[in-house]
Structure 1
Amino acid sequence: MSKNRMTYLDYNATTPLCDAAREAMLPYLDRYFGNPSSVHAAGRAARAAIDNARDKLAALLHVRPHEIIFTSGGTEACNLAVLGLVGRLSDRSSGGNHLISNKAEHHAVLNAIEYLEKRENFEVTWLNISEKGIIDLDQLAKAIRPETRLVSIMTGNNETGVIQPLREISHLCRERGVLLHSDMVQSFGKIDIDLSLVDAASFAAHKFYGPKGAGFLFLRSGLSLQPIMFGGAHENERRPGTENVAAIAGMAAAAEWALPDREAEQAREAHLRDALWTSIAQNIPEVKQNGDGTSRLANTLNVSLLGLDSEMLLIALDLEGICASSGSACMVGSVVASHVLLAMGLPIERARSAVRFSLGKWTTADEIERAGNAVQKIVDRLQTR
């Protein structure tokens, strides 16, 4: 397969680096190489880049610069939020060891909470998820109690694109004085983000056309955070380790580049996504769409091609030059039944036949037509075996 024939429909896994990010990074890979903790001129230049990036991100998100904590990516930001907030807030003498989340979270949150549940004896209420992928708000209201220390519910799901009712979730948490963290890794640049609704939120640069290995945690002013790593006083003693100056500069540049045309771009991607669904559905009666059809990220289409194995489908698509996935890209190349779809109560056969197509800024109508034709061709071939 030649590279110029590749159709990339896996933007939820990662995005290409935009020119703005690349240009912002280059000076800090060459001329301005100083350690930002050093007091000399080279160090001050690196520190200025970090401060500038923090100011840019804060302005874009309408928060204060000191509320931005730079991390190595979304996974670390999620772990820092869950483990850091709970570590500081949980007072076993007062019984404050209750957490609330759901089984459709990204593993960065899911595994952190499972660790607290299994290894630190925290009690966890796992909220029910509807067949459309939405949490049960009534159950959340009933689950919150005086011992509840943290609620963690993602904004937009990385596999299905389903958007949770964050405003209603926030109201319930604020009403009861409970902290709310939201994994917003898939949401930046795709929907309006209102950080006044949450106490903490996680982000990753490579999901919005920035570099891999960079992310940040928003932490509301006045909240204490226990570090989950040790070895320095970086990031106001909240995240030790020498900062990745080039990646941080690139992340801020990518954020500035991705946001201005968000509404028009998301409308374009939604149109292409719906065209892909129409192409698949009108030719393959055995297909099912997974997740809420209305409250969903504009770029995401998750379908189950019933009776077919997603691993075979993905291999066949790859041979046709189509890059798609079966869900989260953080499972080291494995293709297993989606934990998100299983959490939604879908049959395991449907979860095992799921494929996710996720679009981005460089997706074209020709690529969508090509992908739809490829899916039909592959399904016809596999079903005749």
Structure 2
Amino acid sequence: MNKIILTGATGFVGSALAATLLSRGATVLAVSRNDQDGCRTETAVREAAAGCGLDLGAAIRDRLVTFDAGQGPLADALDADSLQAADAVWHCAAEMSYSANKLAHAYQTNVCGTVDLYRKVAAHAPACKRFYYVSTAYTAGIRGGNTDETLHVGNPCVNSYQVTKWCAEQSLSVLHQEGALPVAIFRPTIVVGHAQTGWARRNGFGFYMFVDAIEAVRRAGASHARLNLPGDVKPDLVTVDRVVDDMAGLTSREDQGAAFEVFHCSGGRELNNRQLLSIISETTGVRATHGPPMTLLDQRIDRAIDANRLFASTDWTFNRTSLDAALKRESRSTPVDKDLLARLVDWYRSEVPLKIPPVAGQLETQA
């Protein structure tokens, strides 16, 4: 594991991956937008290191190199010299909006931007062994059921993020067939905080949308909320430390091979929606029950969670046999249980800031 090109280092998974790779001796070439001096990237990686309990020492100063794409394509930020030395790419950056109004922008970012980056790396990075693309397990569509590690065809997608991630996977499959650079599609399920520290980004994405919704009820002075969700559905939650450990493990494989790979990074399904809401209720002091909205406040909360309602109302079982085989892992870690989820919710709701070590020296940046 030597030099890794990484996009999305200011995001939740991307920053945790950057910190993890740095802790294992890699040099990280982090490509970001609107970060000319590299401070936003450095801050995100330092926060992730603290959140993951990693002591990076001088690694950020010595082995984190930032590239600023301004407002343009990420691929344009990389110069020929940097590409020459790259051993692998992790493309984590994405437009995360679900809005149909942002479909064109999401397509430009998630599909066209991915294709441009792949083509530039394939043409100018002779040492690069594999292009890893971070997608989502929910490119499987909304049918649910048993879901294999393969490309999906004809399954219904319901938002701009899901649609454009599916399109990017298909595009990379076509590019892989040209034989220039092997591709791996990496699909996490619902990523939650760090299993040991609880750390997460407080951005209301995914599972934390429901925490924010019930917290909003508490702040409004109410003691009860009804959420229109099926109680028996079991979402697949995976902790961020498990995700980035799997990512780093894939990167460090001695034999990267030449096959097109698809991996599900799932954590397993133990708790159903009823249990999840019960745990959030216990930590917030708001009694959350299932059913259609009855009050104006219920209606506001119902609109707030609508973006994730279909995902929280569908049961999937994600096969991760290929990922475990690639990592030579015989057994999986246990799924998120009640005690762990309670700790994750407690940390997310806390207002105690992370203890982030001070900056050590000058960060290397390239515009």
> TM-score scaled by structure 1?
0.30
Bigger-Rg structure (1/2): 1
